[in-house]
Amino acid sequence: MRRYFLALLALPGCLPMQQMMETKRELPVTKVVLYQNGVGYFERRGKLHGKEVELRVRPDQVNDVLKSLSVLDLSGGTPSSASLPVERSGDRLAQELPPQVRNATGMLGLLQVLRGAEVEIDGDDGTMHGRVVGVEKTQRRYVNANGEQISTEPMLTLMENDDQLQTIAVSQIRRLTIGDRTLSVGLQQSLDISKSDGAWKPISVTVRLAGDESHDLIISYIHEVPVWRPAYRAWIESGKGIQLQGWAVVDNVSGEPWNDVNLTLVVGSPLSFRYNLHTPHNVERPDLSSRLPDVAEAPPPPDVGYAPPPPAPARAEEFDGMSARGASEDAGGINGGIGNARGRTKSAKMAAPAAAPSPMMARDEAMASDARRQAQRAQVQDQIRRQEEEARRDAVQRSAQALVQGREVGALYAYEATTPITVPDRSAALINIVSRKIDGKDIFLFRDPQSGESPFRAVMLKNGQESTIEGGPITLYIDNTFAGEGFIGRVAKDETAFVPYAKEGGFALNLQQDGRIDELHLAKIIDGRITIQGKRVATRTVKLESNRDKPSLAYVKLPLTGGMEMVNPPKDLVRAGTDIYLPVEIGAKAKAEAKLVESTPIELVEMGLTPQVLDAFRYYLQGTNLVDAVAGPIRELLAAQEQRATLEREQENLARQQQILEADGQRIQGNLDSLPLGAVAADLRKKLVAQLATTTTKQAEVAKKLVEGQVKLAAIDERVRTLLRQIELK
């Protein structure tokens, strides 16, 4: 490998060692802005002396960099140009190389493909010039401490002076110079192709500046990055609101570390796209080669008289310890008091001896003493529990201190880090972006009340005016205990989100729906066409029964009816797009209901006295702005309608009588037909004939009255039509 590297340095056109190892000045990354559309904005900042600054980017980043590169010189200078190597397909470049160097690897492989090339070799025995004949493996005998040994070694054969062959061991070559310029350039291109293979090998973009003075530069660009993702934690205590903490997961796969950068995370997705600026774009041109002649015209035969020639052929332990210590310390003070009391009792006994207590009294005293000790122990444990809950609450608030400040940037919202952030290359970081108290409570949620499914246990979060909450997973802790996980969607300012985290039983829900037309009033009457206006009202009633031992607050998700508005909605109702969440408060083992009332204005056009028209007429007569030319005919119309209603009821009674009489007549006629002939049934036949005659007479009277009633109804209808044509209300 050492000899091979030296050989490369000897190639014509190669740079000296110091020039190859020298790297242009590269400015550090000082600012990173990550968006949720898959791009990141990067700034490099620094001062330098000279005319050039280098920017190294990966091949998959170069198109975005070329599309967005911006160079600002705060010292007053201007950038003059930026250059980078042209991207060409490695396969295409390889096809353009001389075939001798396409697959050459290492000194031995290179010598094998340089057959016929002019070379100069510096070896252990001096310098040799000539053309490469080939490389072959030969055996060599030598003697060492182990006796005679045989080794196989590659040997290079050179032709010197066109007639002399000379060999040299490949291992003895210290320096190789290729005399063929084409082959040396081809080898360099082959190495360039190998260097460019792989997405992590950088491309150097060199920015040239005008003037040799000092430059204070800001270089900015964008390129594709993984999106940052938020994840949330929520601590919920009854009656104390919700402590919300949000973390952003940030991935650095840019190819270099971010050391102490100003990091900004933007909520939103500005428009962005890919565009290939690095690969040369060739326009396809028409090929007119077919217009070339296929053969050239042969010269005419010679004029001499001879024949032409013939043609050529083809941690749990700390809590226990703290509890034990606390119990011991507190109990010590209490027991001390008990001991003093016992001491006084003993002194009193010594001063005034008394009779020994009975066994029953001793047992009662021991039981009372045990009860006191248990109460004292419970009191100590309760005090320790309250202290730990307070310490845990304080720890949650301390650990949830956000490391960023939020602000609106046009239509976007940005979280800007308050301290420099370091994210090593090929690493991810968690950054606290949200930490604040928000309103909310633990509730029950019926997402589909008509499905009969059990409700969800959910958390209702009410976002304030501070900032938008971006969507992401959320872990819920209720009273310092893990309760479940959910997913919170994007919650804008003043919006409310429902986050289900568990299934819950113990409820029975019934949904009832009702509709009616209400508040009808007369709008106009023209040519007998009556226009009335009013409201169509729809009511949905949610009836809920709870079997739980505690009061509950449930929300029922209902779709809003298109084109209708809510009437007197409940105070805590939540609206989300085309859905609403109806609150239902219910006691322990109780029943409750809530209603959603919606209405929309309607307009009806009628040609007769329909029920809606009659209601509108009555409503009109109750008003104060009556027009006599309209009110009088309307009263007549209402009176005619009442008369018509009475006649219709009489007609219905007559029709029922007619049906009864027809049935009686058929029965009597059937009895007559079944009687035998002769004197025996003569009296019965006579009675039945009389009954049939009476029934027939009554049928005729009823039929007459029905006809008379129909005539009266027709007269009333004609009267109504006449009155309607006389009324005009605009």
Q: What is the mean pLDDT of residues 111-128?
A: 83
Confidence of residue 406 (pLDDT cuts 50, 70, 90): low
pLDDT of the residue at 511: 92
pLDDT of the residue at 342: 41
Confidence of residue 7 (pLDDT cuts 50, 70, 90): very low
The CATH architecture to which 626-726 belongs is Orthogonal Bundle (1.10)
**What is the separation of C-alpha 617 from the centre of its chain, rounded to a whole number of angstroms?**
56
In this structure, are residues 200 and 58 in contact, taking their beta carbons and an 8 Å threshold?
A: yes
- Tokens 């309608």 locate to 641
* For residue 481, pLDDT beyond 80: yes
pLDDT of the residue at 571: 86
* For residue 9, pLDDT beyond 90: no
Q: What is the mean pLDDT of residues 424-453?
A: 88
Q: Which residue has the higher pLDDT, 202 or 631?
A: 631
Among 39-43, 258-262, 382-386, 683-687, the minimum mean pLDDT is found in 382-386
pLDDT of the residue at 19: 42
Q: Which residue has the higher pLDDT, 650 or 208?
A: 650
CA distance linking residue 648 with residue 329, whole number of Å:
96
- Among 61, 22, 94, 27, residue whose Cα is nearest residue 200: 61
The residues near 721 (Cβ < 8 Å, ≥ 6 apart) are: 528
DSSP E strands in 447-566: the ranges are: 456-462, 472-478, 481-488, 496-503, 507-526, 529-546, 552-559, 565-566
In this structure, are residues 528 and 607 in contact, taking their beta carbons and an 8 Å threshold?
A: yes
pLDDT of the residue at 299: 62
pLDDT of the residue at 199: 43
Instruction: Render pLDDT for 215-250 as a digit per residue (tens, 0 to 9).
Output: 888 989 989 899 898 999 998 887 778 888 888 899
In this structure, are residues 389 and 239 in contact, taking their beta carbons and an 8 Å threshold?
A: no
Highest mean pLDDT pick, 184-198, 268-282, 546-560: 546-560
- Among 252, 200, 262, residue whose Cα is nearest residue 228: 252
Encode 94-143 in three state secondary structure. HHHCCHHHCCCCHHHHHHHHCCCCEEEEEECCEEEEEEEEEEEEEEEEEE
* For residue 517, pLDDT beyond 80: yes
Q: What is the mean pLDDT of residues 307-325?
A: 43
Share of the chain above pLDDT 90, in %: 21
Instruction: Render pLDDT for 355-402 as a digit per residue (tens, 0 to 9).
Output: 555 666 666 677 777 777 777 777 777 777 666 666 655 554 444 455
Share of the chain above pLDDT 70, in %: 77
pLDDT of the residue at 4: 39
- H-only helix segments in 237-358: 317-351
* For residue 278, pLDDT beyond 80: no
Confidence of residue 271 (pLDDT cuts 50, 70, 90): confident
- Among 111, 46, 69, residue whose Cα is nearest residue 207: 69
Phi-psi region of 469 (alpha: psi -120 to 50; beta: other; left: phi over 0): beta
Among 107-121, 194-208, 261-275, the minimum mean pLDDT is found in 194-208
Q: Which residues pair with 457 in a beta bridge?
A: 444, 502
Give residue limits of the domains in the chain: 2-225, 226-278+366-505, 508-617, 626-726
pLDDT of the residue at 67: 87
Amino acid of residue 384: I
pLDDT of the residue at 652: 93
Q: Which two tokens stand for residue 70?
A: 């911006």
Question: Would you say how long the chain is, in residues?
Answer: 730
